[in-house]
Amino acid sequence: MKRIRDAKIVATLGPASSTPEQITELFLAGVDVFRMNFSHGAHEGHRERLQAVRNLERDHGHGAAVLMDLQGPKLRVGKFENDKVELHTGQTFRLEADEFLGTSEKACLPHPEVFAALEPDTDLLLDDGRLRLKVLSHGDGWAETKVITGGTLSNHKGLNVPGVLLDVSPLTEKDMRDMQFGLDLGVDFVALSFVQRPEDVAAAKKLIAGRAQVISKLEKPQALTRLDEIIELSDGIMVARGDLGVEVPPEDVPGIQKRIIRKCRDAGKPVIVATQMLDSMIYAPTPTRAEASDVATAIYDGADAVMLSAETAVGDYTVESVSMMERIIRRVERDEVYREMRELERRAPEKTAADAITAAARQVADTISAAAVVTFSSTGSTTLRAARERPKVPIFGLTPRLDTARRQALIWGVHSVLTEDCHTFGEMVSKALHAAKTEGYAGPGDAIVITAGVPFGTPGATNILRIAWVE
């Protein structure tokens, strides 16, 4: 199934997009990667949705990836006597680790690690920043605070501690159970929430053991201090602007987004921009002009993918949201300014044979006006390297492995094709020509530029460049 764009679309499945028919509609509208949010829903529901994705993949002959998003160590207050309380600016409010029903004077915060990390004057944000407290004093399992910004506080609302490194693992007991379930199902990506340090990523990768790729969600400012290390260890990055936008000033978020995207581009790692991209389309058939500009900016900046959350999970206009995102991406990618930016921001290739071959493939494709760049890779490393070059033509990622074919659905510019393994270079060239022709990317007389590693099956061994013509 031919996609006429390079950036990819990630869409979240939920109550509004749970049936096979609804999932197929989203796929046909342009979704490349389906996100399953394990903060909500039962395992059986996630199983049914994943099976629906695999079925449409079989029916349409086009890979679609599944990303499971772990809840992570979300900090939440407990329950209240009447389900909610009103906090008034200037009042004192006590937080305690012990379990009890909260009142307007105090509440349960069942997270001892928070109290251990507090200092006087530390800011505490509740309910996505709608309420603000300041720590006056604290001890083992308690904190006395002053309400700086009041409002209504209800059961289980989230708490953020900006600027404080908390001694918590990004994987809770629930996450461990969910992750094992998802890996057994065969998800393609695991999104790790609230990453603070590279050690968090390393621990998760050890547990996953190659069964899926790890996407680190950057939503804690502490992660930014060791950004290069986190990117290096991760298979991809998600700019999770929801919690990030709570913990840092709103005016800082655009610059942080650009910085993360640029570093991911330099490292050759896919990056997803997420949260509130077309938020008004949860209830309206069209986005605001500001939202359209937000999506466009992420594409201009070089993001590999943009993500829809509530828009497709619980929104009234799920298919329309995907179609709108598709239209915005295509419009940006046709813009001459976008093409100029892509050329100016291209990073010099590393001094390796593989990078030299890949850079040359892009240049040759441009010089001879080739119809496509074709890669052959069992692990996807050759294809990822080709995407880093941002060629002007589509990238065909041929692979004999189904897991690689699915994971390539997240990579910029890549049209993934599952093929039989190749034993000779001539066989590989023949398969490349056939795929480019049958998928509608090249016709008789068109040239394609092929890169691969010989011997086949050796990761990172890109060492061959070949021009071939479709007959």
What residues are labeled active site?
A: 35, 76, 217, 275
DSSP string, 411-425: STTEEEEE----SSH
355: Cβ contacts below 8 Å, ≥ 6 apart: 349, 385
E strand map for 311-413: 372-376, 395-399
- CA 74 – CA 159 distance, rounded (Å): 8
Q: How many CB atoms lie within 10 A of CB 290?
A: 9
Q: How many CB atoms lie within 10 A of CB 181?
A: 15
Q: What is the DSSP letter of 409?
A: G
Q: Which residue has the tokens 């880093």?
A: 388
227-244 burial code (b ≥16 CB/10 A, e <16):
beebbebbbbbbbbbebb
Q: How far apart are the first and last CA of the chain?
A: 22
Which helix (H) or strand (E) segment holds residue 68: the answer is: strand 65-69
- CA 60 – CA 54 distance, rounded (Å): 10
C-alpha R_g of the chain: 24
Pairing of the two strands 462-469 and 447-453: antiparallel
Helices (H), 13-163: 20-29, 43-60, 112-117
169: Cβ contacts below 8 Å, ≥ 6 apart: 73, 200, 203
CB contact at 8 A, 287 and 276: no
